[in-house]
Amino acid sequence: MKRVLRRSTLIFIFTLAFIGGMGYLTFQLIMNADDWVDQPYNAHISGSGGLAQAGAIYDRNGEVLAQTVDGERVYNENASVRKSLLHVVGDNSLNISTAAQSMYRSQLSGYNLFWGLNMPQSLRSSNDLKLTVDAKACAAAYDVLSSYDKKGACVIYNYKTGEIICSVSTKGYDPQAPPEITEENESEYEGVYLDNVLSSSYTPGSIFKIVTAAAAIENIPDIYDRTWDCAGSEEIGGSDITCVEPHGTINFKEAMAHSCNIVFAELAVELGADVMNETAEKIGINMSFEVDGVKTAKGHYDVSKANTNQLAWSGVGQYNDEVNPMQMAIICGAIANGGKATNPTLVEDGAASILSAIGINKSGNGREMFSKDTAAQLDEIMRYTITDYYGDDLFGGLTVCAKTGTGEVGDDKEPNGWMVGYSKDEDCPLAFACVVEDSGFGFTYAGPVVQAAMIQAAKSLGASAVTG
């Protein structure tokens, strides 16, 4: 009798375990089916590259970026458009994990929990995807950026609505004819699967002076009454801080416009490590930002253990400073937006245009990076940087505020060339960031990329002032 009871108990326990396991499996299938079908190891479930049944991907103007024709995935007929949007759209390999064809594979393939991938065509809803990018603006940026044969990134986004108009990462390849990467040529294609706009961080150089300037505005009451003497180099903390050229006697606005290292190094030391750390933290240098579920690479600023010379160099964007391109576009957009950041997006919401038309920001304002007063003062000195130094004819009639940077990286490499900023025009509220690795002066290398992309992006938005 006891033996029968023990057997019955064991059978009961195994039955409960089986029912519990099936219940758990069912729950996981219902809750995570989209994630399961999106996995690269399940690419076979929907044919070639997992995209044989996938819907089309369009840019903001209805330009086809990718579509399936006779069971084959094909990409835009323009080579510059295809290559420029490789990291945004993706290719058949699904190796670019942040691209739309990886992130939204279940939606594109029409996966349904009940039917799987076999839902009758008559019952399918549209499985197309519309992005916020403008194909022509991306191609314009790519044509200049790729001509350098360097790694880099260029991003432009609407700081009112959050829509990303241009997002280009190099180096890459043609998704219509992807290369076969082997041990012999892997160095040539190193990093091609990485979207530098979202997933890379770089030494910023002088674009970090925006952060130091914000700290100075908020903590030094007489900052606009002061002058400094720049002889081209100055010993701070036992070693020299150097400038590109002697600037002579210079005030705060002129120091920003002419990117004087001596002034901003002295300011960082005067402000001190605690204030510099607090300002960088408030602005979000050490955090990542989210773009449709993808987190950007974090920047880095920490001078808590820096000596005086290192603190000085940190104020001009050197030492161990790092920033991400998307992050810098968001920061510039926040300055234009009165201090508050707007969340960026790459996937167009069908209701976005309606909400925008009635004055509601779909993305919503995010964190306050600057006080309204600080943002207004940064706006003034970044505008002065264009009018006084670079010239106001660079951007086809747009009213632009900007800062360039040359981030020294050592190891016998050329600097990172940067340009960041935004346009103030009511019908063209665009913030931008561009970096060219291993290049040189930001104005020389990043400037032409931004110029080409901003003019085309402004045309896409129908900006009235833009020419060229």
DSSP code per residue over 198-253: HH--B--GGGGHHHHHHHHHHH-TTTTT-EEEE-SEEEETTEEEE-SS--EEEEHH
- Burial annotation 196-231 (CB, 10 A radius, 16+ → b, else e): bbbbbbbbbbbbbbbbbbbbbbbbbeebeeeebebe
SS3 2: helix
Report whether 156 contacts 164 (CB < 8 A): yes
Q: Which CATH superfamily is domain 136-461 in?
A: DD-peptidase/beta-lactamase superfamily (3.40.710.10)
Helix (H) or strand (E) holding 365: strand 365-368
Q: For residue 384, with 0-12 CB atoms within 10 Å meaning exposed, 13-18 middle and 19 or more buried, which class applies?
A: middle
pLDDT tens, the chain, 468 aa long: 555 556 566 566 666 666 665 655 545 544 554 444 444 444 444 444 567 778 999 999 999 999 999 889 999 999 999 999 999 999 998 889 999 999 888 788 765 444 344 444 444 445 899 999 999 999 999 999 999 999 999 999 999 999 999 999 999 999 999 988 888 887 888 889 999 999 999 999 999 999 999 999 999 999 999 999 999 999 999 999 999 999 999 999 999 999 999 999 999 999 999 999 999 999 999 999 999 989 999 999 999 999 999 999 999 999 999 999 999 999 999 999 999 999 999 998 644 443 343 343 444 457 899 999 999 999 999 999 999 888 888 888 899 999 999 999 988 899 999 999 999 999 999 999 999 999 999 999 999 999 999 999 999 888 876 776
Show me where the domains of the chain are located: 54-131, 136-461
According to DSSP, the β-strands at 64-69 and 57-58 are antiparallel
- Whether residue 340 has a cis bond before it, omega within 30° of 0: no
Assigned token pair, 415? 């600097």
Name beta bridge partners: 12: none
Q: For residue 249, what are the contacts with CB-CB under 8 A and spacing of at least 6?
A: 227, 228, 229
Alpha-carbon Rg for the chain, nearest whole angstrom, is 26
Report whether 434 contacts 325 (CB < 8 A): yes
pLDDT of residue 468: 66
Distance of alpha carbon 237 from alpha carbon 269, whole angstroms: 9
Helix (H) or strand (E) holding 376: helix 372-385
Report whether 165 contacts 132 (CB < 8 A): yes
Assigned token pair, 195? 């979207």
Report whether 453 contacts 80 (CB < 8 A): no
CA 257 to chain centre: 25
Tokens 């100075």 locate to 216
pLDDT of residue 33: 47
Q: For residue 184, what are the contacts with CB-CB under 8 A and spacing of at least 6?
A: none
Tokens 């896409």 locate to 460
Residues in the chain: 468
Report whether 162 contacts 342 (CB < 8 A): yes
The overall longest dimension of the chain from CA atoms, in Å, is 103
pTM: 0.86
pLDDT of residue 43: 45
Tokens 């960031």 locate to 433
pLDDT of residue 23: 57
Q: For residue 121, with 0-12 CB atoms within 10 Å meaning exposed, 13-18 middle and 19 or more buried, which class applies?
A: exposed
Q: Which fold does the domain 54-131 belong to in CATH?
A: Penicillin-binding protein 2a (Domain 2) (3.90.1310)
Assigned token pair, 177? 């004819």
Assigned token pair, 243? 């400038």
Distance of alpha carbon 195 from alpha carbon 253, whole angstroms: 35
CA dist list (Å): 71 to 52, 74, 95? 5, 9, 20
